Amino acid sequence: MALWMEDGSNPLTENEKADLDAIAALKESSALEFKEKGNEFVRLGKKHYTDAIDCYTKAINQKVLSNSENSVLYANRAHVNLLLGNNRRALNDAEEAINLCPTNIKAIYRAAKASLSLNLLDEAKSYCVSGIRCDPNNVEIKKIERQIDSLILEQEQREALVTKAIAEAEKLVSAIVHRGFKIGKAAYQELTGLRKPVLDKNNILHWPVLLLYAEVMSSDFIEDFCEVDMFSAHLDMMFAEGCPPLPWDAENKYTREAVELYYEAGSGICLSKERILRNFLEGTAASNAQSIALDEKDAVEDSNHTTSANKGSSKWIKVHERRTLHNVLKEPNYIIPGIPVFYLVSRNSKFYKDFKAGRWVPPS
């Protein structure tokens, strides 16, 4: 009998041929029955979706249906997998359906939908193009294509913003390194936030500068301190005649003639170019960029760049008002704590003696 024939062997008698035809008919009938059961389970709702998948799988496994019929089964199973959120399985089934029947429009639509759910936008777009080629008036495919086009545009715009942010940050780092400035870990971020320098079209740096009144740890900000400006120009504006005294300076000891500026030398660790770059990217479209490419030379230099300014303890260095910000930032013993920070004291205050004697340290 045909039931006992080895796989791949040909029937020798008319009876064997008849047996094989009967077996094939039974398998085909069984496959179609499984298909209809699967369709019925889908109509019964979510609780029966796994039963539907099982039926479609059994129908496929009969291996007696035509390519077009099997394409329908794979497309149906893809539909149920989409309903269950099994997007990768849905895509695999839809692709198999398309391989069996390239014009199966439902399979193409489901492949596009699954690709979109997996954020495979290029693949999803490609399926939409194929679908519209097969069925130019298909409303559902045109609808999903518009959605995909919108997401692709958003992605391209986002990538453009990331590229621009990285390019600007790299240019900023290059300008800082070229000037010989040293950047360390940011200090007083509760006051400074994500402020960072700006490089203008003339290649001049503009820094946000934090001024701290050491005696009371009150603060002022100079939002745009051009690197070629002298300190005296900003102090003249801050303590101009007619300006009210500082709220906490009841005795009016902080006057233009009495104030002095200092920076803390020998404090902090120089950051590598990559670390500086990542700090400058914080708060931008590229803040979560996974990889930032430095050229080979920069990478080698960075491996040895995390060093301190000097081996001694920190000390206070007076800033001469007629110097520019650029010249002060270039001092070999000054590591910029994220952005420049300077301390104001008054010669008229009792605190001044303690400060000058080194008996005061910034609060940690």
pLDDT score for 4: 44
Residue type, 139: V
Residues 255-261 have a mean pLDDT of 96
pLDDT beyond 90 at 8:
no
Residues 230-253 have a mean pLDDT of 93
Question: Is the model more confident about 64 or about 5?
Answer: 64
Instruction: Report residue 6's pLDDT band, with 50, 70 and 90 as the boundaries.
Output: low
pLDDT beyond 70 at 18:
no
Write out pLDDT tens, residues 98-131. Answer: 999 999 999 999 999 999 999 999 999 999 999 9
pLDDT beyond 90 at 16:
no
pLDDT score for 277: 96
Residues 266-279 have a mean pLDDT of 91
Domains in the chain, please, with CATH? 7-137 (1.25.40.10), 180-270+307-356 (3.10.20.90)
Portion of the chain with pLDDT greater than 90, in percent: 79
Q: Rounded CA gap, 280 and 7, in Å?
A: 69
Instruction: Encode 282-324 in three state secondary structure.
Output: CCCCCCCCCCCCCCHHHHHHHCCCCCECCCCCCEEEEECCCCE
pTM of structure: 0.73
Write out pLDDT tens, residues 275-320. Answer: 999 999 999 999 987 666 554 444 444 444 444 444 444 589 999 9
Strand partners, 225: 207
Instruction: Report residue 267's pLDDT band, with 50, 70 and 90 as the boundaries.
Output: confident
What are 293's two structure tokens?
A: 């490419």
Question: Is the model more confident about 299 or about 153?
Answer: 153
Q: What is the mean pLDDT of the chain?
A: 89
DSSP character string of 79-128? HHHHHHT-HHHHHHHHHHHHHH-TT-HHHHHHHHHHHHHTT-HHHHHHHH
pLDDT score for 215: 96
Instruction: Report residue 264's pLDDT band, with 50, 70 and 90 as the boundaries.
Output: very high
Specify the range with the lowest mean pLDDT, choosing from 22-26, 126-130, 197-201: 22-26
Instruction: Report residue 22's pLDDT band, with 50, 70 and 90 as the boundaries.
Output: low
